[in-house]
Amino acid sequence: MRKTRFIVGVWALLLAGFFSLAGLQGNAAGATESELVEAAKKESGKLLASIAMRLETAKKLTDGFRAKYPFVREVSQYRADAERRLERTLSEFRAGRHSFDVFQGSPPDIAILKGEGVLATFGAPERKHIDSRFKDEEGYWTDLYWYPVIIAYNTNLVTGADVPKSWQDLLNPKWKGKITMPRDQIGLYRVMQKAWGDEAGTRFMENLAKQDVRISKGVSDGVTLLAAGEFHLAVTRAQHIEIFKGKGAPVDWVKDLNPMAVHGSPVALMKHAPAPNTARLFLNYLFSEDAAEIIAESQRLPARSDVKGLSPGFKAMNRDNLIRTPDEDIFKNYKKYRAQFREWFGGPK
């Protein structure tokens, strides 16, 4: 009897250890950093991340991660255009091949991968420092950084009391034909509906379209034209204005808009990551203060709020009115929203 009890006890301990490790690999929501480190040390020491950010910033982050955890011998980046990265990720998953540990991309990409069952939930101790607006409750994704959509202006052409203070100021007749905006600002459209109600948000966009807004090819193109004096105002991303302003361009932006729409740049854990605990440790590092300072150096806004190295413009920004774009809704109803937006502002249906 004692022998039987002993054997049962040993098996219980072994099973407890096994399921403890399995639980860590499965979610690790309650794991500490030291537990993640110990679990990661048992893996290959290699990591492959599909990355969308600038090469220089990504290298600084991966170098910082390896310096902190030298047992991770190799952190590789797969870089391609968004369509190719998504296509490869999906095709490999469907074929039962699993190369990637971490995926960083646009919210629509994350929505597609989540819908296809490619992602796993994950926990990371540093995730607690991320505002709830920039992470999902289920734990599938967390924003690494985000882009505020703002009103920018040419400081040589717009001064003093003429500087807009609200979105409604864009409807002043004096700005007709003097505003530029990248096409398909569906996120901004849906945030306005969320903040003001469907009817008021739609009415604003209809009236803005009557201002003969010029649609630019992309964000950088519009900001370049704004800086050159081709336009007085631009609806654009704040970080592009900060970059141009830092180079001496005559541009600035309104920092107290209500609402202020925010596009996130989420990161996620792959469901069949070859090194799941190393991946979780990497994600935890990406949400750390050290990583946030690296991100801030690139004139992006880290999802963490306790960052010291932000540019003066970002420090002056009012964060109370931030609303993250409802990306899953946009993804599900994209064709409808795009058709509506292009009916107002032009472009192919």
Between 22 and 28, the higher pLDDT residue: 28
The confidence band for 57, taking pLDDT boundaries of 50, 70 and 90, is: very high
Residue 125 maps to a domain: yes
106-129 tens-digit pLDDT: 898 999 999 999 999 998 999 999
Residue 3 maps to a domain: no
Strand boundaries in 39-105, DSSP class E: 46-50, 74-78, 102-104
Q: What is the token pair recorded at 349? A: 């249906």
Average pLDDT rounded to a whole number, residues 100-110 = 93
In contact, 101 and 270? CB cutoff 8 Å? yes
What percentage of the chain reaches a pLDDT higher than 90?
Answer: 76
What percentage of the chain reaches a pLDDT higher than 70?
Answer: 91
Same domain for 79 and 208, yes or no, is no
Residue 7 maps to a domain: no
Q: Residue 114: give its domain's CATH number.
A: 3.40.190.10
pLDDT number for residue 30: 67
Residue 4 maps to a domain: no
Same domain for 72 and 89, yes or no, is yes
**What pTM value is reported for the model?**
0.84
Vertex 125: Cα angle to 121 and 128 (nearest 5): 90
The confidence band for 20, taking pLDDT boundaries of 50, 70 and 90, is: very low
Average pLDDT rounded to a whole number, residues 149-177 = 97
Strands 142-154 and 179-182: unpaired
Residue 5 maps to a domain: no
Least confident of 7-11, 181-185, 304-308, 325-329: 7-11
Same domain for 82 and 183, yes or no, is no
Domain that holds residue 268: 29-145+264-313
pLDDT number for residue 331: 86
pLDDT at 348 over 70: no
Residue 187 maps to a domain: yes
Same domain for 140 and 35, yes or no, is yes
Same domain for 256 and 270, yes or no, is no
CA distance 200 to 189: 11
Same domain for 98 and 56, yes or no, is yes
Same domain for 232 and 331, yes or no, is yes
In contact, 281 and 69? CB cutoff 8 Å? yes
Average model confidence (pLDDT) for the chain? 89
pLDDT number for residue 230: 97
Same domain for 118 and 198, yes or no, is no
Between 61 and 123, the higher pLDDT residue: 61
pLDDT at 74 over 60: yes
Same domain for 140 and 240, yes or no, is no
229-284 tens-digit pLDDT: 999 999 999 999 999 999 999 999 999 999 999 999 999 999 999 999 999 999 99
Q: Rg (Cα) of the chain, in Å, rounded?
A: 23
Residue 18 maps to a domain: no
Same domain for 282 and 295, yes or no, is yes
- Domains in the chain, number: 2
Count of positions (residues) in the chain: 349
